Structure 1
Amino acid sequence: MMNYDIAVIGGGIAGYCAAIRSQQAGKKTVLISQGQSALHFSSGSIDVLGRLPTGEPVNDPFAAISRLRYDSLGCSPLLKQPASGSAIPHPYVKVGHSAVKQSLLWFKEMLAAELPLFHQPDDANHWRITPFGTLKATWLSQPYVYQHRSQTNFREIVVVALAGYRDFQPQILKDNLARVADFAGIPIRIATIHLPSVAHDQRHPCERRSLDIAHLLQPESAWSAFCEQLTQMTQADDLVILPAVVGHGNGIETLARLQQATQRQFHEVPTMPPSLMGIRLETALHRIFIQAGGVHLKGDQVLRGQFDGARLTEIYTHHLSDIPIRAGHYIMATGSYFSQGLQASRQAIKEPVFGLDVAQTIPRTQWGGQDFIARQPHPFMTFGVSTNSHLHPSYCGKTIGNLYCCGAMLAGYDPVFEGSGGGVAIATAYHAIEQCLSHDACPETGQEVLL
């Protein structure tokens, strides 16, 4: 038997945030993660709220949260609580405006020594140039991401291509960026860099990934050639758009070295998976959790749990077999469809580990809109585990008082349409741990426990 204060299931942003916050609070914490998280596919930026469920763009994400109390209830009128029949509120509404901002500032401070992240001085969203040449609203970005707000005065925008590298499409980026009004009148061109080590690589170009390029740039000869060509092809008042292929494990330090060598302004964009910018974020979170003294059961999978009335008493994993893990509180952050935190059949959505109650519309014909790229969220994207204001889920209609759900598995919001995935993950994970800490301080009577 393994005993902990808090057991966290899931190793994405929500899982890591819950585990780190728990460990920081002095709780004996175990984090159980099945494998590679969705961070390997992410931009490495943190989106808080890019637009409302109505489709209205958001400039100040924290000010807009108060409007979700109304907009989220109207965006999917058929999404109901299984037990009560009332509409599901947005996760931000459950957490609260001030707690959402507090959690994001905690996240930024917690990462500062490992991976500094930046936002605008007025706390507004900024626009990030995507690998497809579009603009996406986000709130926190890594150091070498250009934070666009309005008209610019760059001499030229130079999109860097690497000869033989197929996981980045510079022509698509260039063509789409040329259609953005804010960049009208600024010349945009593609500059192709040839690396000697890549030219002599006998593998098919399609086999090279961002990690391969990062390793190929490590020898001093390849690095010098890379810096020299960048300097020759660009000027100091250009914006140089660079695919994220520089540095693995020490990406920010390597980019700082690149900027010092070239004196250029870079905008780093993620490539096809694996995303070095997402891996950078996951690596930093993992290091912080381990340094704080947490236990990480990496590569394991929670298979089932044992309930006693309104409490989850123990969980069982694939590797530990019949050895239970017991904790005072359990945090579930297993993600959505992509990471199989939710599973969809032809007729129903289910939570596969414990069989928790799920909010969804019926019938199946109402799960999606007519257009794939729609002006409102697809209903199926707002399906998920239903929870109360404390993020307690229910099992067979009964609220489980020591289990909390957070992140993409929650019902009531569309992280893709809204651009709110990272913010909801951090805010709900932080809120869940605060609920655990509050419960431990005042278990029954609301009075502080005196030892």
Structure 2
Amino acid sequence: MLNYDVIIIGSGIAGYSAALRCLDHGLKTAIISSGQSALHFSSGSIDLLSHSPISHQLVRDPWSEISRLHTSLPQHPYAKIGVRNIRQAMSWFQSILSDAGIPMSSLPTQENHLRITTLGTLKPAWLSQPYVKKLDFDCRNLQDIKQIVMVSIEGFRDFQPNIAKEVLQRNALPVGNIPIRIVKINLSAFNQLHRNPNDFRSIDISRVLRNKQNFDEFSDQLSATATPDDLVIIPAILGNGDGLQLMHKLSNQTGLHFHEVPTMPPSLLGIRIEEALMKTFTHRGGILHKGDEVLGGKFNTNENKLQLSDIRTRKMGDLTLSAKHYILASGSFFSKGLIADRNHVTEPVFGLDISETGDRSFWHQKDFFTQHPHEFLSFGVETDEQFVPCIQGQKVHNLTCVGSVLSGYNPITHGCGGGIAISTAYAAAEKIMAERNPNIPLEARA
């Protein structure tokens, strides 16, 4: 049997955040990772709260809206954590990523900003990476931009600037008044490869551009087609395995102002975050059981309290893993943290109690794209105020649930997936530390 202080199931943004905070407290921590997380499909920005769960309207000031949830929606994860603790968690997360070479920031006002997406729409976010232009809601910080230059890579099909340009020009915002020009970049390295460039993904191009000669050719073509007064919209094709180093180099070499947009998966903006978190975790002594899957656990009752004693995984066979505390960060339907059949939704690892789902006909709206939220997106594990789940109504006292496996909120409709993942993960680690050291004041643990 392998023994730890904390075992975390899941290696997405919630799992790594919980693990890193546990390491802050000196806890021997392991992560069970079944594979790539949803970060490979993400924008690389962090949403705190983009739409109100109360009015469903677009939110400019997320902190003000979050403060209202305590009385309006007490089962919402943010309501359970509280504004002060959420602020602390988000500030901590920024520090972790900044130390790892991926600084993320919000507007100086602490309000949401708008970012230009791959399709030319404007999407709210709260934290974004350095080469993402953070537009205020009135787009006043675009006034000094003379034109928008969209970069088209010859043969690269995962970014279509013609579509993005048309959508962006239709927006009833100052963006629509700025001239938009599309420039084509053709890399000679493609001609030397025995592959159709139309088969390339962003991660393939990133490998090509790690070669200095190819990078300099790319840089020279950009310098010849744009000026420092332009905003250059570029698909995220740099940064596989080297974080932001090549983007910094490109910026310094060209003198241009870039706005990166994520492409079709894999998303290099999201991969940067995952790689930064994983490297930080392992460099600080965390144990990563990669490519493994938890099959179930053994429970016992100690002083009339149900507890998880150890877990079995697919790779370990008869060798079990044991910890004093467990954190479930297995995600939602996408990562199989929740499983749906014709009539039921289940949590497959431990059979935890799920929020009431009702009849299947009420799980979703008739149309996929609709103004009304799909109910299934708010399904998840029911927990108490400290995110402790139950099995058939009985609490599992040393198990905490974090991130998108939780019920009580809609991460897509309300744009709060990243913020919930980070803040619930941070809260779980603080809960564990409070239980282990009940006489240490909260301020001393921060």
Class of the TM-score when normalised by the shorter of the 2 chains: over 0.9
Provide the rounded CA distance (Å) in 2 between the counterparts of 1:374 and 1:71: 24
| Per-residue deviation, residues 285-314 of structure 1 (Å, max 9, x unmatched) | 011111211111011111000111311111
1:146–1:267: 8 Å Cα contact kept in structure 2? yes
Code of the aligned partner of 2:322 = R
Gaps of 5+ in 1: 74-88, 447-451
Provide the rounded CA distance (Å) in 1 between the counterparts of 2:416 and 2:219: 36
TM-score by structure 2 length? 0.94
Provide the rounded CA distance (Å) in 1 between the counterparts of 2:96 and 2:210: 29
Equivalent position of 1:190 in the other structure: 182
Q: Aligned-pair RMSD on alpha carbons?
A: 1.6
2:30–2:286: 8 Å Cα contact kept in structure 1? yes
- State how 1:34-183 maps to structure 2 within 5 Å: 34-53=34-53, 54-69=55-70, 71-72=72-73, 89-114=75-100, 115-149=102-136, 150-151=139-140, 152-153=142-143, 154-180=145-171, 181-183=173-175
| Per-residue deviation, residues 168-221 of structure 1 (Å, max 9, x unmatched) | 121121111111222122111211100000133331234211111011112222
Provide the rounded CA distance (Å) in 1 between the counterparts of 2:237 and 2:64: 36
In the alignment, structure 1 residue 220 sits paired with structure 2 residue 212: yes
1:55–1:376: 8 Å Cα contact kept in structure 2? no
Code of the aligned partner of 1:403 = L
Equivalent position of 2:293 in the other structure: 301
Provide the rounded CA distance (Å) in 2 between the counterparts of 1:379 and 1:247: 37
Equivalent position of 1:28 in the other structure: 28
- 1:360 deviates by 2.9
| Per-residue deviation, residues 9-64 of structure 1 (Å, max 9, x unmatched) | 00000000011110110001111110111111111111100011232111111221
SS of structure 1 residue aligned to 2:315: coil
Range with bigger deviation, 415-424 or 166-175:
166-175
| Per-residue deviation, residues 327-366 of structure 1 (Å, max 9, x unmatched) | 1100000000000000111101000001100003211111
Q: Which of 330, 333, 341 is the matching residue for 2:337? A: 341
Equivalent position of 1:327 in the other structure: 323
Q: Which of 402, 417, 427 is the matching residue for 1:421? A: 417
Q: Which of 378, 397, 400 is the matching residue for 1:401? A: 397
Compared with structure 1, are the counterparts of its residues 96 and 393 closer, same or farther at alpha carbon in structure 2 (3 Å cutoff)? same
Q: Which of 367, 377, 401 is the matching residue for 1:371? A: 367
Provide the rounded CA distance (Å) in 1 between the counterparts of 2:349 and 2:35: 16
Code of the aligned partner of 1:164 = G
- 1:70 deviates by 5.1
Provide the rounded CA distance (Å) in 1 between the counterparts of 2:281 and 2:244: 20
Equivalent position of 2:385 in the other structure: 389
Provide the rounded CA distance (Å) in 2 between the counterparts of 1:213 and 1:70: 50
Provide the rounded CA distance (Å) in 1 between the counterparts of 2:429 and 2:239: 34
Compared with structure 1, are the counterparts of its residues 72 and 376 closer, same or farther at alpha carbon in structure 2 (3 Å cutoff)? farther
2:243–2:276: 8 Å Cα contact kept in structure 1? no
SS of structure 2 residue aligned to 1:368: coil
- 1:439 deviates by 0.7
SS of structure 2 residue aligned to 1:418: coil
Equivalent position of 1:78 in the other structure: none
Compared with structure 1, are the counterparts of its residues 292 and 37 closer, same or farther at alpha carbon in structure 2 (3 Å cutoff)? same
In the alignment, structure 1 residue 255 sits paired with structure 2 residue 247: yes
Q: Percent identity?
A: 45
Equivalent position of 2:277 in the other structure: 285
Provide the rounded CA distance (Å) in 2 between the counterparts of 1:70 and 1:344: 31
SS of structure 2 residue aligned to 1:283: helix
Provide the rounded CA distance (Å) in 2 between the counterparts of 1:206 and 1:227: 21
Provide the rounded CA distance (Å) in 2 between the counterparts of 1:182 and 1:18: 41
Number of matched pairs: 431
SS of structure 1 residue aligned to 2:152: strand
| Per-residue deviation, residues 57-101 of structure 1 (Å, max 9, x unmatched) | 11111221122245547xxxxxxxxxxxxxxx1111111111111
Code of the aligned partner of 1:237 = D
Provide the rounded CA distance (Å) in 2 between the counterparts of 1:106 and 1:128: 23
Provide the rounded CA distance (Å) in 1 between the counterparts of 2:298 and 2:198: 47
Code of the aligned partner of 2:115 = R
